Amino acid sequence: MFDFLIPAAHAQTAGSGGAGAGLMSFLPFVAVFAIMYFLMIRPQQQRQKQLKAELKALRRGDRIVTAGGVVGIVQRSREDSSEVEVEIAPNVRVIVLRETISSVLTSSAKPVNDDAKK
């Protein structure tokens, strides 16, 4: 009476469907994970490592962007402190946490106009 809700079962032969078939059905999942790792996860980990190194090396004069979108110039930074003093407008300074800095736009560690022909 309720047979229309149950799909028809297909019989397997005894010789097919060994350990190789199980591995072959699992292989697409491994391939998708590998692709996701190399296209999304690994680049994000490298970017986080680079940002962490930049935040550790913050110096006076570096231009930064906070997580809230505020652009400013670092005025005071200590390595052992989690706070950084940032100038966001002329004579307007705020203290932000290092963790809220989302990117370093320009770094004073390597001057842009530093030519070897002086």
Q: Of 54, 99, 94, which Cα lies nearest the Cα of 73? A: 94
Q: For position 109, what pLDDT does the model report?
A: 57
Q: For position 26, what pLDDT does the model report?
A: 86
Residue 86 main-chain phi, psi, to 5 deg = -125, 135
Pair 44, 74 in one domain: no
Pair 40, 64 in one domain: no
Domain that holds residue 68: 57-106
Low-confidence ranges of the chain (pLDDT < 50): 10-13, 112, 118
Q: What is the pTM of this model?
A: 0.61
Q: What is the pLDDT of residues 76-99, one digit of tens each?
A: 988 888 999 999 999 999 999 999
The CATH number for 94's domain is 2.30.30
Pair 43, 70 in one domain: no
Q: Of 51, 64, 57, which Cα lies nearest the Cα of 94? A: 64
Pair 47, 65 in one domain: no
Residue 112 falls within a domain, yes or no? no
CB-hemisphere CA count at 13 Å for 61? 6
Q: To 5 degrees, how large is the angle CA 27–CA 9–CA 14?
A: 65
Pair 30, 45 in one domain: yes
Residue 66 falls within a domain, yes or no? yes
Pair 101, 62 in one domain: yes
CB-hemisphere CA count at 13 Å for 72? 27
Residue 8 falls within a domain, yes or no? no
Q: For position 106, what pLDDT does the model report?
A: 83
Residue 5 falls within a domain, yes or no? no
How many domains does one find in the chain? 2
Residue 29 falls within a domain, yes or no? yes
